[in-house]
Chains A and B, each alone.
Chain A
Amino acid sequence: MNSSLSTPSQQIPPEKKGNKFTSFFNSKKVAPYVFVVPFILSFLILYLYPFVYAIIMSFQQVLPGQTEFIGLQNYERLMNPTFYRAVFNTTIYVICTVIILVVVPLLLAVLLNSRLTKLKILFRTAFFMPALTSVIVAGVIFNMIFSESDSAAANQVLAWIGLDSVDWQYNAVTGMFLMVALASWRWIGVNIMYFLAALQNISDDLYEAADIDGANAFQKFYYVTLPALKPIVIFVSTITIINGFRMFEESFVFWETSSPGNIGLTVVGYIYQAGIQQNDMGFGAAIGVFLMIIILVVSLIQLKFFGAFKKDE
């Protein structure tokens, strides 16, 4: 890494010339602008332009060779049962993942931080491992554990406790369960790390003071730990909500882009279907604008919360 960075790049003008241009380039005033050039370029080309283009596209019918403005027609077309289904699925998914991915990692982090827990490093590593797999690889595994066959692992476990086999991928509730389970499995370890870092920042004095007041373990958790973790809980929830609305792959690994009765259709899946598969770019862009508004609102709410916390301190 270092060797590749220490080789002078084209940004460094040849020293020999020593003319005005070189010294101008080398001045303390100009150098920072040279350093930020990559960002400016990528901002203009890879963010600003496509962003503006996406909004314009959402008012257009984009066909090869001819593109025309059609006003709000793409947005009017959004009012259809398939889109409602995508929004519904995504919302349920967000709610489930937020609850699971905040509560479970929080509890596990508290346990991992407790002096009563043995083998901490081993457990921490085990919880973190799933985060290293890609959604696709995780999907390969989940597909075979939750296969519809009676002999597949999940159905076998059901049989042991006396339940009937389930066609996991063919019904809305179990389909949602599969997506939530896959996402939770992959992300719990990462969220544990956030909470652990925050827990280790809580000063011991607070717990000692609580001890003097005669607080029990539960009271200490409720009155000391939880308030101290509030900012990180908000942060983790926000990320989970945003990532939830952007979900695509967790559905793709089970049904690609067409699930029975659209039980796996998500907002981003709908963008992909409309924009890439059906080449209906304008409509796809309109879905994208909708998605962006949701995410913007979530981000702003979070910023407001964080702002409020800063004032508290």
Chain B
Amino acid sequence: MDTTKKEKILSIIILICMGIMAFIALFPILSLLLASFRSSSVLMSEGMTLIFDPAELNLNNYEFIFSEEGMGYWRWYLNSLIISAGVIVFSLFFSSMVGYALALYEFKGRNIIFLLVLVILMIPFEILMLPLYQMMVSGQIIDTYLSVMLPLLVAPVVVFFFRQYCLGLPKELMDSARIDGCSEYGIFFKVMAPLMLPSFAAMAIFQGLISWNNFLWPLVVLRSNDMFTLPVGLATLLTPYGSNYDLLFTGSVLAILPIIILFIFFQRYFISGLTMGGVKG
């Protein structure tokens, strides 16, 4: 009897502690949401105040962002959507093929290629950044979607993930497909790829999130306002001299909104996608 009472008290204490931690985790997101309904000029001069008049809340910022003047923002949104979609489609296509071959075929050089995958996992992107930038300049593809997407197209982490996943697939299926007269490529596309669907989902979310939130590289290669992605565009509004705070808060809310909606539906894939790489998002 005594221990159950003790446990009950303990569990209430834990509940309170966790509640406080959860509040700390959610407070910034909630305050951003709230800020998007408040007067931007007040926020600029006073910062985010804890106490405010609820009557102050209005939809002006949202009206602004959906008006003519907010068009620049939606251009960034479109750029981010196109780039993320491109990265997801191409990087999943290429990386899954590589991971699949590394896991399920015996061929000369396989171990060397796998070793190379592991080695480039260790090379920080930042050291490749300046040469890559020069290559983009001399290839005259600076300030294009392609220049933003290129470094993400065959990500070693994604190759690694697909390889690990494919190791668990039944090889016998490939043999029986061969007997049925299926070509090697047909086996991949028609027989094995459908079995890899859960890994495609996790990697789509992983690569999508990386590319949606990617900042340093787009900042380096994008030059014109029309080509900016969302993070790069929002960062230009973040200057202390900026006068576009109305765009900044609503724009930030609308930038994370689709991610949060997707997260609610595909939580499992988000978690497996985000935790497998441990790579900066």
* Chain A interface residues toward B at CB < 8 A: 1-2, 4-6, 8-9, 11-12, 15, 26-29, 31-36, 38-43, 46-47, 49-51, 53-54, 57, 62, 108, 111-112, 114, 116-119, 122-123, 125-149, 151-153, 155-157, 185-186, 188-190, 193-194, 197, 235-236, 239, 242-243, 245-246, 248-249, 252-253, 256, 268, 271-272, 275-276, 281, 284-285, 288-289, 291-292, 295-296, 299
Closest to B248 in A: A140
Whether the pair A127, B204 counts as a contact (CB closer than 8 A) is no
From A38, A111, A114, A288, give the contact of B97 (CB < 8 A). A38
Interface residues on B, range: 35 or more
Q: Are B28 and A138 in contact (CB under 8 A)?
A: yes
Residues of B within 8 A of A137 (CB): 32, 231, 234, 252, 255-256
Task: Answer whether A119 and B15 are a contact pair too, CB < 8 Å, given A26-B184, A53-B131.
Answer: yes
Q: Determine the chain B residues whose CB is within 8 A of the CB of A289 once the complex forms.
A: 127
Q: Mark B78-104, 1 if CB is under 8 A from A, else 0.
A: 000000000001001111111011100
Residues of B within 8 A of A35 (CB): 97-98, 100-101, 105, 188
Contact present for B215 and A249 (CB under 8 Å): yes
> Within the complex, which residue of B26, B101, B238, B263 is in contact with A139, where a contact is CB–CB below 8 Å?
B238
Interface membership of B173, Cβ < 8 A: no
Q: Is the interface of A mostly helix, strand, loop or mixed?
A: helix
Is the beta-carbon distance between A285 and B238 smaller than 8 angstroms? no
Contact assessment for B275 and A296 in the assembled complex, using a CB-CB cutoff below 8 Å: no
Q: How far is the CB of B121 from chain A (nearest CB, A)?
A: 9
Please, which residue of chain A has its CB at the minimum distance from the CB of B121?
A299
Any A CB within 8 A of the CB of B151? yes
B17, B29, B117, B124: which contacts A129 (Cβ < 8 A)? B29
Within 8 A of A (CB), among B141-163: 150-151, 153-154, 159
Contact of A39 with B154 at beta-carbon distance under 8 Å, contacts A117-B15, A243-B280, A288-B129 already known: yes
In the complex, whether B171 has a CB less than 8 A from a CB of chain A is no
Q: Which residues of A contact B200 (CB under 8 A)?
A: 1-2, 5
Q: Considering the chains assembled together, what is the distance between the CA atoms of A137 and B234 in angstroms?
A: 8
Chain B, interface SS category: helix
* Residue B7 is within 8 A (CB to CB) of chain A in the complex: yes
Closest 6 CB pairs of A and B: A152-B47, A147-B47, A31-B184, A35-B101, A134-B213, A50-B131
Chain A residue numbers with a CB within 8 Å of B216 are 248-249, 268, 272
Q: Would B124 and A149 count as touching, CB distance under 8 A?
A: no
- Tell which of B11, B130, B185 touches A54, judged by Cβ atoms closer than 8 Å: B130
Residue in A1, A57, A139, A252 whose beta carbon sits within 8 Å of that of B204 in the complex:
A1
Q: What residue in chain A is nearest B17 (Cβ atoms)?
A: A111
In the bound complex, residues from chain B placing their C-beta under 8 Å from that of A6 are 189-190, 193-194
| Given known contacts A5-B193, A135-B215, A149-B46, A129 and B25 CB-to-CB distance under 8 angstroms | yes
